[in-house]
Chain A
Amino acid sequence: QVTLKESGPALVKPTETLTLTCTVSGFSLSDIRMGVTWIRQPPGKALEWLAHTFSTDEKSYSPSLKNRLSVSKDASKSQVVLTMTNVDPVDTATYYCARIIHFSDSSAYYHYYDYWGQGTLVAVSS
């Protein structure tokens, strides 16, 4: 049974650093064709991709947030950590982690999220 669970502070102050942890079970962070992504959703708004890490240790970040984000993983603990520096009230959102399935064949590149965590709501306020 695949599960992902986000954890972290519910409230952070502007300019502080936000650290979120995604703990996974039912699969390994080393499994080929898999990875973990971070996506957020401000209240009442759309989903926004933040960053992801693959089993190959390849990492990628949203260009608009690249300077503020860092993602790391600890396979022994089955955890992926997202760090966001210098938070602002506009960063208030529900933050989700999800499992990525990604691979290429002769015809296409496949990239989709088949399991999601429940999400954690983070408010940025003084």
Chain B
Amino acid sequence: QSVLTQPPSASGTPGQRVTISCSGSSSNIGSYLLNWYQQLPGAAPKLLIYSNIQRPAGVPDRFSGSKSGTSGSLAISGLQSEDEADYFCAAWDDSLNGPVFGGGTKLTVL
């Protein structure tokens, strides 16, 4: 069981806006920055959002992140078929003295 809690699945139709939540505690999300990774089918994870809201170069601005208290979320607007992937949240954790991940959310574009 993962330390950070994500819904196992999410879905939307092309053009829609979808949000994926990530819930933690005071020892991780409540105290540290939240990062998001996208894993396309059969591929390695890729950094999508770092430091709560920052996008690496090349990541479309359709992807946005937010954090409040011990939870955060990833929003994808203008959903496209190529966004179909697994999404993982991650944050540093004081108890582990290392990073913790969410269980992942499988996004399906209908």
Interface range on chain B: under 10, 10 to 19, 20 to 34, or 35 or more? 20 to 34
Q: Does B104 contact A (CB under 8 A)?
A: yes
Per-residue interface assignment for chain A, residues 49 to 67, with 1 indicating a CB less than 8 Å from any chain B CB and 0 otherwise: 1001000000011110000
When the two chains form their complex, are residues B47 and A113 in contact, meaning their CB atoms are under 8 A apart? yes
Q: Give the A interface residue count (CB, 8 A).
A: 25
Assembly CA distance A109 to B51 (angstroms):
9
| A60 contact set on B, CB distance < 8 A | 97-98
Q: How far is the CA of A109 from the CA of B50 in the complex (A)?
A: 12
| Cross-chain contact B45 with A116 (CB below 8 angstroms) | yes
Residues of A within 8 A of B (CB): 37, 46-49, 52, 60-63, 96, 98, 101, 108-119
* B residues whose Cβ falls under 8 Å from a Cβ of A: 2, 32-33, 35, 37, 44-47, 50-51, 56, 88, 90, 92, 96-104
